[in-house]
Amino acid sequence: MSRSRVVIGVIGDDIHIVGNRIMQLAMEECGFSVYNLRTRNRPERFAQAALEVNAHAVFVSSLNGEGEHWCSDFRKRFSDVGLNNILLYVGGNIVVGKRSQEEVIALFQGFGFDRVYHQLSDIRVAIRQLEEDLKHGPAKREGEAAGN
């Protein structure tokens, strides 16, 4: 079986790279082919990269809270290039201010993300869920929680 391809990167004007690099190394150790866009990416860059490498999933991160601004039409960017069923994940400190996990998860699921990891400190959870999602397909996007 071929290795699953994952695009990862930091969204918006965020330049925080350490978590991104740790995620890349952990994913590669688990057997994924990782295409790292690094920092300061616009949503359309993620979609274009996913199209170019025929990615199975995309992981977006933000540490400075810009996720809400940059990710509001994220799923649409992928639909625009014909990637309607790609798995989308977002994590880090993705909103400004203090909000409940439930509120942040609902917000980003509304943006079309399959999984939301707001302030998650154990990346093994995200990788384990990615492996499961790749086996079974994405959770229903319309009103069904994705097990966050």
Does residue 70 lie in a domain region? yes
| Ordered mean pLDDT values, 10 residues apiece, the chain (148 residues) | 90 95 98 98 98 98 95 97 97 96 97 96 95 80 42
Task: Give the structural domain span for 111.
Answer: 5-136
Residue 72 lies in a domain: yes
User: What is d(CA 56, CA 114) in angstroms, rounded to the nearest whole number?
Assistant: 13
Count of the separate structural domains present in the chain:
1
d(CA 26, CA 86): 21
- The catalytic site residues sit at 14, 16
The three-state secondary structure class of 8 is: strand
Overall size of the chain counted in residues:
148
Whichever domain contains 112, its CATH number is 3.40.50.280
Q: Read off the pTM.
A: 0.91
Whether 55 is covered by a domain: the verdict is yes
Give the number of C-alpha atoms closer than 13 A to the C-alpha of residue 106, restricted to the C-beta side: 6
One-letter amino acid of 71: C
- pLDDT for 121 equals 84
pLDDT given for residue 120 in this prediction: 87
